[in-house]
Structure 1
Amino acid sequence: MMNPNLSMKKKLSGQPGRMAGIRRSTLKRILILAAGYIMLLLLALFMMGPFLWLLSVSLMPGTNVFSFPPAIFPTFIKFDNYVQVWSFIDFPKFIGNTLIITGLGLVLNIVLSLSTAYPLAKMRFKGRSLVFTILVSTMIIPSSTALVVHYLTISWFNLLDSFVGIVLPSAVSVFNIFLMRQTFMGIPDDIRDSGKVDGASEFRIWWQLMVPMVRPGIAVIALLEFMSYWNSFLWPIVVLNDPAKYPLASALTYLNGQFSYNFGWIAAGTILSVLPIIIVFLLTQRYYMEGISGAVKG
């Protein structure tokens, strides 16, 4: 029979070794976690570098912008560039144009994406998979080719020099349809069946049962399309003949001189144009992440 005192001594003698092993394992996890955070911080600084540089240039006086060696940070902060740009360009008018284009584009994209994705996800009909495959395959068409086709179509419908001509070609997004289809597929079929049992029409099931359950997905496409329409640059210049109808991003071309560039003005105007996007993203990032995760699960 083993002596209890001897057994206790063996346990006590082995305890320091186990504690040392636990400490080493904990230290290793802490170092790995710290290294991961450092890498993420460096990656974030790398991704934010252009924006931070743009912000720095917008606050610099002209002497700082062209100094050698280049100044990373302004020697003193001045908001003159913002004041001068705001007075040089009619910002309220161009912001109003941008809001009209963005609002119209958002409504059309959300309605058409929801109404197209729902039958592709929940309704059973012949050729459903073929239709979805053809839709997804159109994403490989080069944007330059689509630009020519869109222009010819808009010209044929006499929609040149109009806000509708800007919005209509991108009113249907295949990516948004794909995203919403995956989101709808994540909803159990029992919910749709219960609506049918209660005598609800297909439209009522879609509008009152399904659409409220895919709000995170709607938030995703709303944010993506908001950024896309707000930053529209080339297509409005192609479609619009009247520069007074330009959205804000296209109107910033007025800051480019014929023989010189005022980089402080350009930087300040760009910061003012992207500021609404940053604010909207910060306010809706939670819904954006929920929508992305829901689409992936679906």
Structure 2
Amino acid sequence: MKTAEEVRSGTSPSRTVAAPSRPRRRIDWSHVGLAPLALLFVLPLLWEVLASFMADAQINKYPPALVPDGIHLDGYRYVFTNTDFPRWFLNSVLVSLVSVVSNLVLCSLAAYGFARLRFRGSGVLFGLLVATIIIPFQLTMIPTFILMKNLGLADSLGALILPNLVSVFGVYLLRQFFLALPRDIEEAAIIDGCGRLQVLVRIVLPLARPALATLAALTFLTSWNDLTWPLIAISTDDNYTLQLGLTTFAGQHHTIWSAVMAGNVITTLPVLIVFLLTQRTFIQSLTSTAVKG
């Protein structure tokens, strides 16, 4: 006979319920091989952070010191008191944010047109557009500078923003992603009376968030780290970006390395934040764009 405890629990003395076994975690040997490589890439960044808290004498000595002998804030103090670093920071933020927003809007419109609208010569036009990616910037920087000068935008933030309003790579990336999306939902919305622009805004763009996030991150990184074009287009200190302002720390006969390290640390922080926020979307968007070509 069953005991009262067995009746309540619904078990019998001759039958026992085995606990589910947990699956064993397998070791991914690729991670074991990639860990030393990741450490190799992290070490220079880690030393840069540590060097920003060193004095110039400790940075310049040989062999180089790996750990600061104390917390020295001379580099950070020089950055914020002897330069226009806050203004340079705001200039970089303004240029990067405008470039990101304009690329998301304009690239989305162009990419959706090439992906969904069929017109004569669309394939040839898209091929010619993509072919311009192979043209190096060194061939176009002088005509671009002359154009900015004729427009009255030389030595202004407008000269940094206007050439970066839209990118061919952004059009290509979003177009490939749009091709991978099913047409059924769009066709149903068109039958219900939605226009092409409403379909793009209300249906396509919400589905394309991974590609949009990837484009935003890549555009931000490119605009934020750009040095060549600001070096050509900007000549006034008030219009310097961060990358251009950091070059002023290195003199002809003397370089303030503690200030260089401190400025690089502050400049790198926004890049790391953007990367951490968008890293999960890279693989998803790039995989989706490879479905159709």
Kindly indicate whether residue 196 of structure 2 is the aligned counterpart of residue 230 of structure 1: no
Separation in 2, partners of 1:69, 1:225: 39
Report sequence identity in percent: 32
Matches within 5 A, 1:83-98: 83-98=77-92
Q: Distance in 1 between matches of 2:165 and 2:44?
A: 30
Task: Say whether 1:105 aligns with 2:99.
Answer: yes
Q: CA deviation at 1:248?
A: 1.6
Partner residue, 2:154: 160
Distance 1:137 1:155 in 2: 27
Question: C-alpha offsets along residues 177-235 of structure 1, whole Å, 9 cap, x if unaligned?
Answer: 11101110111111221122112111111122211111111111111111112222221
Of stretches 41-50 and 105-114 in structure 1, the one that deviates more from structure 2 is 41-50
Question: Contact 2:89 / 2:242 at 8 angstroms: preserved in 1?
Answer: yes
- More displaced stretch, 109-118 vs 121-130: 121-130
Aligned-partner Cα distance in 1 for 2:291–2:81: 49
> 1:74 aligned to 2:68?
yes
Gaps of 5+ in 2: 1-23
Give the alignment partner of residue 245 of structure 1, picking from 239, 242, 249: 239
When the two chains are superposed, the root-mean-square deviation of aligned CA atoms in Å is 2.0
Alignment-derived partner of residue 165 in structure 2: 171
Distance 2:146 2:42 in 1: 38
Matched, 1:123 2:117: yes
Distance, in Å, in 2 between the alignment partners of 1:233 and 1:124 is 39
Could you tell me how far apart the structure 2 residues matched to 1:296 and 1:168 are? 30
State which of 49, 52, 55 in structure 2 corresponds to 1:55. 49
Matched, 1:210 2:204: yes
> 1:83 Cα shift?
2.5
Shift in Å, 1:40: 0.5
Residues 217-270 of structure 1: per-residue CA shift (max 9 Å, x gap): 111111111111222222123212322111122111221223111112111111
**Normalization by structure 2: what TM-score?**
0.85
C-alpha distance in structure 1 between counterparts of 2:269 and 2:154, whole Å: 29
Distance 1:81 1:294 in 2: 45
Alpha-carbon separation, structure 1, partners of 2:201 and 2:160: 28
The answer as to 2:257 corresponding to 1:287 is no
**Structure 1 segment 192-211 matched on structure 2, within 5 A:** 192-211=186-205
1:181 aligns with 2:175: yes
Task: Kindly report which structure 2 residues correspond to 1:265-280, keeping only aligned pairs within 5 A, or say none.
Answer: 265-280=259-274
Distance 2:81 2:271 in 1: 22
Distance 1:199 1:282, change over 3 A: same
- Give the TM-score taking structure 1 as reference length: 0.83
- Long gaps (5+) in structure 1: 1-25
Q: Can you list the C-alpha shifts for 1:48-98, whole angstroms capped at 9, x where unaligned?
A: 233223223212222321222222333334333222322222232222211
Number of residue pairs aligned between Structure 1 and Structure 2: 268
Say whether the 8 Å CA contact 2:217–2:275 is kept in structure 1: yes
Give 1:110 shift: 1.1
- CA drift of 1:162 comes to 2.1
1:176 shift after superposition: 0.9
- In 2, the alpha carbon distance for the partners of 1:196 and 1:185 equals 17
The Cα shift of 1:118 comes to 0.5
- Map Cα deviations across residues 13-41 of structure 1 (whole Å, 9 max, x no partner): xxxxxxxxxxxxx9xx85xx44x323201
> Which moved further from structure 2: 244-253 or 59-68?
59-68
Instruction: Choose between structure 1 and 2: higher helix proportion.
Output: 1
